[in-house]
Copies of this chain bind each other. A is one copy, B any other.
Amino acid sequence: MNTTNEPLSVERMPGAPLIITKHSASFWRVTLDNPPINLMGPDMVAGLQRLMDIIEADTQLKVIVFDSVNKDYFVSHFDVVRGGELPQVSGKLGVTQWVDVSNRIHNAGVISIAVIRGRVRGIGSEMILACDMRFASKENAVFGHLEVGMGLLPGGGAAEYLPALSGYARAMEIAVGADDFSAEIAEKYGWINRAFSDAELDAYVDNLATRISGFELPALQATKQTMLKRIGGGPNPFEIQESSNKFFELYQRPEAQALLAKLMEIGFQTESDTESRLGHYLGTLATK
Structural contact, A220 and B176, CB atoms closer than 8 A: yes
Structural contact, A226 and B153, CB atoms closer than 8 A: yes
Contacts of A170 in B (CB 8 A): 133, 190, 193
For A218, give its contact among B131, B231, B250 (CB under 8 Å). Answer: B250
Chain B min CB distance to A31 (Å) = 21
Q: Which 3 A-B pairs have the closest CB atoms?
A: A214-B286, A214-B287, A153-B223
Query: Is A93 an interface residue when CB atoms closer than 8 A count as contact?
Result: no
Copy total for this chain: 3
User: How many residues on A have C-beta within 8 angstroms of the other chain's C-beta atoms?
Assistant: 73
Given the known interface contacts A176-B111, A176-B215, A287-B210, the answer about A246 and B227 at a Cβ–Cβ threshold of 8 Å is no
Contacts of A92 in B (CB 8 A): none
Contacts of A239 in B (CB 8 A): 230
Which residues of chain A from 143 to 161 have any CB-CB distance to chain B below 8 Å in the complex? 147-154, 159-160
Structural contact, B152 and A219, CB atoms closer than 8 A: yes
User: Can you add 16 more A-B contacts, CB < 8 Å, to A169-B190, A170-B193, A187-B188?
Assistant: A131-B169, A132-B168, A133-B172, A148-B216, A148-B220, A151-B218, A159-B223, A172-B227, A173-B208, A175-B223, A178-B211, A178-B215, A179-B208, A210-B283, A211-B282, A215-B286
For A243, give its contact among B111, B212, B226 (CB under 8 Å). Answer: B226
Query: Is A71 an interface residue when CB atoms closer than 8 A count as contact?
Result: no
Structural contact, A226 and B172, CB atoms closer than 8 A: no
- Nearest residue, chain B, Cβ from A259: B216
Query: Is A52 an interface residue when CB atoms closer than 8 A count as contact?
Result: no
For A222, give its contact among B133, B212, B231, B250 (CB under 8 Å). Answer: B250
Q: How far is the CA of A187 from the CA of B153 in the complex (A)?
A: 26
Contacts of A259 in B (CB 8 A): 216
Q: How far is the CA of A151 from the CA of B216 in the complex (A)?
A: 6
Structural contact, A286 and B167, CB atoms closer than 8 A: no
Query: Is A253 an interface residue when CB atoms closer than 8 A count as contact?
Result: yes
* Interface 1/0 per residue, A25-65 and B, CB below 8 Å: 00000000000000000000000000000000000000000
Given the known interface contacts A190-B167, A193-B173, A231-B163, the answer about A223 and B148 at a Cβ–Cβ threshold of 8 Å is yes
Given the known interface contacts A153-B222, A253-B218, the answer about A212 and B133 at a Cβ–Cβ threshold of 8 Å is no
Structural contact, B212 and A176, CB atoms closer than 8 A: yes
Chain B min CB distance to A270 (Å) = 23
Q: List 19 A-B contacts (CB under 8 A).
A: A111-B172, A111-B176, A132-B168, A133-B170, A133-B173, A151-B216, A168-B228, A168-B234, A170-B193, A173-B208, A176-B215, A176-B223, A177-B212, A188-B194, A211-B282, A216-B256, A219-B250, A219-B256, A230-B239
